[in-house]
A and B are shown apart, each in its own frame.
Chain A
């Protein structure tokens, strides 16, 4: 995996046209969901390339960045803590500071919070158990590119699968985009996803890449990942 980003010349094309954007999918030791995330963004017509945690720069031509789910560095110390200090994260920070789109899913959300690119922190679920189920999410802020034009109060159906998915933070100062309809994990104010103030960096515990195919019961994840390309 080390070295040049993996090319997928056979994918990322929709209707035979050129890819509409290049999305760098980060990979840390312990990342799990990079394949499904890459497949999901390619389904949106983008080109997915892999960025390795030790790389000092994002792949050339990167338009947007996706931090996938998993258990980077075995969740040691705190989930996302060690990954947030990896060399590639300096490049992600520069990309975000320049206004580039970044989305962190599950462990990727934890990494972005630990890196200070998003407000808050993720803690152990109040259930003290791994929660894996479809969740209804309420759109709390429809002014970001991450909800595909669904108006405030609208609902998205996207699954969660995590052990440390309870967001802790100040919902009065954080820009909350998605809330769980049901308070299952113990998140402050039922928060499921937040952006930075500018709205170009998004993090959420639910897995939009697992809700991109009708076979999986919902395609609402496409609305979230569409924010990478908007």
Chain B
């Protein structure tokens, strides 16, 4: 099994109200110097087979990400 990490993030330009709320809360707590905050998700997959990265990309295209509103990145862990 190969460990693969998929990161799914809202695309630039897509409103991320969750990120905005967290940015506001951080400022309220006194954390200065925080610009934009964006929140996505991390999906950990254990994949067998020859091409785990290719499989993970196919999974992103088929289900894990919505290309209209999200970008994804695939990282194969050593």
Contact of A168 among B21, B64, B68 (CB under 8 A): B68
User: In the bound complex, how far is the Cα of B68 from the Cα of A126, in angstroms?
Assistant: 18
Q: How far is the CB of A195 from chain B (nearest CB, A)?
A: 17
A168–B69 contact, CB under 8 A?
Answer: yes
Q: How far is the CB of B72 from chain A (nearest CB, A)?
A: 12
Q: Which residue of the partner chain B has the closest CB to A127?
A: B17
User: In the bound complex, how far is the Cα of B18 from the Cα of A126, in angstroms?
Assistant: 9
**Contacting residues, chain A, for B63 (C-beta < 8 A):** 77, 81-82, 85
B15–A114 contact, CB under 8 A?
Answer: no
User: In the bound complex, how far is the Cα of B15 from the Cα of A169, in angstroms?
Assistant: 12
Q: How far is the CB of A70 from chain B (nearest CB, A)?
A: 20
User: In the bound complex, how far is the Cα of B63 from the Cα of A125, in angstroms?
Assistant: 22
- Within 22-68 of B, Cβ neighbours of A (below 8 Å) are at 62-64, 66, 68
Residue positions of B touching A, CB distance < 8 A:
14-15, 17-18, 21, 62-64, 66, 68-69
Q: Which residue of the partner chain B has the closest CB to A188?
A: B15
User: In the bound complex, how far is the Cα of B68 from the Cα of A186, in angstroms?
Assistant: 17
**Contacting residues, chain B, for A114 (C-beta < 8 A):** 66
Q: Kindly specify which of A8-16, A87-95, A116-124 makes contact with the partner chain.
A: A116-124
A166–B15 contact, CB under 8 A?
Answer: yes
Q: How far is the CB of A82 from chain B (nearest CB, A)?
A: 8
B68–A169 contact, CB under 8 A?
Answer: yes
Tell whether A124 pairs with B17 under 8 Å between CB atoms, given A77-B63, A85-B63: yes
Instruction: Decide if A128 is an interface residue (CB 8 Å cutoff).
Output: yes
A121–B18 contact, CB under 8 A?
Answer: no
Tell whether A77 pairs with B64 under 8 Å between CB atoms, given A121-B69, A128-B21, A168-B69: yes
B18–A124 contact, CB under 8 A?
Answer: yes
How many interface contacts (CB-CB < 8 Å) are there between A and B?
33
Interface residues of chain B: helix, strand, loop or mixed (majority): helix
Q: How far is the CB of B44 from chain A (nearest CB, A)?
A: 14
- Within 144-201 of A, Cβ neighbours of B (below 8 Å) are at 166, 168-169, 186
- 22 CB contacts below 8 A, A to B, read A77-B63, A81-B63, A82-B63, A85-B62, A114-B66, A121-B66, A121-B68, A121-B69, A123-B14, A123-B15, A124-B17, A126-B15, A127-B17, A128-B17, A128-B18, A128-B21, A166-B15, A168-B14, A168-B15, A168-B69, A169-B68, A186-B17
**Contacting residues, chain A, for B69 (C-beta < 8 A):** 121, 123, 168
Q: How far is the CB of A16 from chain B (nearest CB, A)?
A: 48
A81–B21 contact, CB under 8 A?
Answer: no
Q: How far is the CB of B59 from chain A (nearest CB, A)?
A: 11
Given contacts A77-B64, A126-B15, 8 further A-B contacts (CB under 8 A): A77-B63, A85-B62, A85-B63, A121-B66, A125-B17, A126-B17, A168-B14, A168-B69
Q: How far is the CB of B6 from chain A (nearest CB, A)?
A: 11
User: In the bound complex, how far is the Cα of B66 from the Cα of A215, in angstroms?
Assistant: 40
